[in-house]
Amino acid sequence: MKNLSWLYYKGYYNEFEYWHNIKPSDESTRELINDFFKKQNDIFTKAVFSGFKKVVVPNQKNVNTSFQLKTTYPGLLMGTGYTHGIGAIGEFKIGFHLDYVTGLPIIPGSSVKGLLRSAFPIIEKDKKTGNLVFAGKSDGEKEKERTKARWLSALFGKINEPDFLSQTIQPEEIDVENKIEYFFQLIAEIFEGIKDITKENPEEKYFSISLNPQESYQQNEAKYCV
């Protein structure tokens, strides 16, 4: 199989002749453009990933071209569709990202990070008092962020149990207002690489990219033990 990334972003327009008339008014030209992209789209709809030959799926006719994955709510959305830039009729749209080197579909690390971040509460400083508060314009929105904190607290408390992945974990009934500083610092460390939010000097404030992860864990194990 050819590199799908190159085909999608570069080779897709080979021999395209309608650059100065992408959205024609006459029906005959519109049909020609549509037919051109139908042929180009076949490259992707009929592509076979040779490495997936042993994947078992219910529909055996598509054993080489498709496979099923399952995720829990709210799921993982790998882009809302990567489109081409010219907006011509019949252009293909895909819902995933193609690796530049191999051409295989991949999930960008930023998508995974964003999904994880959405599970953590949004915490901000109150403009009047300067105190940390759970964000939200209404009481309902603020309570939603508190529930995230309660759920994470319960999650952290059971994460080392042998049957952790098979458990249904409910939010802890605790006063998370007393732990808001803990969550604020934890979020800053995980998603922004901030070691000490009170420092101004970057070398003291942020983790070094060369820091051994095990050293970082040992340094903060006690601080972030729920």
Does the structure show a pLDDT above 90 at 1? no
pLDDT exceeds cutoff 80 at 49: no
Task: In whole angstroms, give the CA distance from residue 95 to residue 67.
Answer: 15
- Do the Cβ atoms of 182 and 120 come closer than 8 Å? no
Phi, psi of 198 (to 5 degrees): -85, -15
pLDDT (tens digit per residue) in 155-188: 999 999 999 888 889 999 999 999 999 999 999 9
Helix axes 139-158, 180-192, angle to 10 degrees: 80
Cα dihedral across residues 145, 151, 152, 153: positive or negative: positive
pLDDT digits 0-9 by tens, 73-117: 655 555 555 667 688 888 887 767 778 888 877 777 887 888 899
Interstrand relation of 132-134 and 97-98 (parallel, antiparallel or unpaired): unpaired
Strand partners, 206: 194
Q: How many residues does the chain have?
A: 226
What pLDDT, on a 0 to 100 scale, did the predictor assign at position 208? 80
Q: What is the pLDDT of residue 98?
A: 79
- Is the pTM value of this prediction over 0.85? no
pLDDT at 225 over 70: no
Token digits of residue 44: 């992707």
Q: Does the pLDDT at position 138 exceed 90?
A: yes
Q: Which of 7-21, 33-47, 67-81 has the lowest mean pLDDT?
A: 67-81
